[in-house]
Structure 1
Amino acid sequence: MISMLPWTCKPGRMRDDVEVRLGPGDRERLEGVAADRKSPQHHVWRTRIVLMAADGAGTMAIRASTGKGKPTIWRCGR
Structure 2
Amino acid sequence: MGKIERIEVSATDRERLETLVRGRNTPQKVVWRARIVLLAGEGLRATEVAARVGTSTLTVRRWRR
Q: What is the TM-score of this pair, normalised by structure 2?
A: 0.88
* Per-residue deviation, residues 22-63 of structure 1 (Å, max 9, x unmatched): 134100000000000100000001100000000001011111
Residue among 25, 35, 43 paired with 1:48? 35
Give the C-alpha shift of residue 73 in structure 1.
0.4
CA–CA distance in 1 between the matches of 2:11 and 2:43? 18
CA–CA distance in 2 between the matches of 1:31 and 1:24? 10
CA–CA distance in 2 between the matches of 1:57 and 1:76? 14
CA–CA distance in 1 between the matches of 2:55 and 2:11? 28
Alignment of 1:1-78 (within 5 A): 9=2, 15=3, 18-78=5-65
- The one-letter amino acid paired with 2:40 is A
Output the aligned Cα RMSD: 1.5
CA–CA distance in 1 between the matches of 2:15 and 2:31? 14
Query: How many equivalent pairs are there?
Result: 65
Q: What is the TM-score of this pair, normalised by structure 1?
A: 0.75
More strand by share: 1
Q: Percent identity?
A: 35
